[in-house]
Amino acid sequence: MKNLSAKQNISFTDFELNGFNSLEEWRPFLFIPFFLMFILSISANSTLIYLIVSQKSLHSPMYVLLCLLAIVDLIMPVLFVPSMLLNFLFNWTGISLTGCLTQMFCLHFVGTFQSTLLLWMALDRYFAICKPLYYNKYMEIRNFLKFVVVPLIRNALLIICLVILAGKLPFCVTNIIDHCFCEHMALVQLACGDISINNLVGLLTAFLIPTADFILITASYVVIFASVFKSGKAHGKAINTCVTHFIVMSVSLTFALTAFLSYRVRNNFSPNSRIFVSTMYILFPSCFNPIIYGVRTKEIRQAFLKFMNTI
pLDDT in tens, 149-187: 888 899 999 999 999 999 998 988 788 888 888 888 888
3 found inside a domain = no
- What is the reported pLDDT for 3? 46
202 found inside a domain = yes
Query: Which pLDDT tens digit goes with each residue over 15-24?
Result: 988 888 888 7
Q: Report CA 288 to chain centroid distance, whole Å.
A: 13
85 found inside a domain = yes
Q: Binning pLDDT at 50, 70 and 90, where does residue 235 land?
A: low
Average pLDDT over residues 113-117: 84
Q: Check: CB of residue 63 under 8 Å from CB of residue 52.
A: yes
Number of domains in the chain: 1
1 found inside a domain = no
7 found inside a domain = no
- Distance CA(220)–CA(250), nearest Å, equals 15
Average pLDDT over residues 89-115: 88
- What is the reported pLDDT for 268? 64
Q: Got the DSSP string for 150-213?
A: HHHHHHHHHHHHHHHHHHTS---S-SEESSSS--HHHHHTT-SS--HHHHHHHHHHHIIIIIHH
- What is the reported pLDDT for 166? 92
- CA distances, 14 to each of 99, 169, 248, 289 (Å): 9, 14, 37, 35
234 found inside a domain = yes
- Distance CA(228)–CA(221), nearest Å, equals 10
- Distance CA(34)–CA(282), nearest Å, equals 12
Give the lowest-confidence range in 70-79, 255-264, 284-293: 255-264
- Tally the C-alpha atoms within 13 A of residue 161's C-alpha that lie toward its C-beta: 15
The string over 255-291, giving b where at least 16 C-beta atoms fall within 10 Å of a residue's C-beta and e elsewhere, is: bbbbbbebbeeeeebebeebbbbbbbbbbbbbbbbbe
- What is the reported pLDDT for 138? 73
Query: Which pLDDT tens digit goes with each residue over 46-98?
Result: 999 998 988 888 888 788 888 888 999 999 888 889 989 998 888 888 899 99
24: left (phi over 0), alpha (psi -120 to 50) or beta: left
140 found inside a domain = yes
6 found inside a domain = no
pTM above threshold 0.75: yes
> Identity (one letter) of the amino acid at 181?
F
Helix pair 271-296, 97-130: axis angle to 10 deg: 30
What is the end-to-end Cα distance of the chain in Å, rounded?
72
- CATH classification of the domain holding 218: 1.20.1070.10
Which residues form the domain of 245?
Answer: 12-310
- Distance CA(289)–CA(252), nearest Å, equals 9
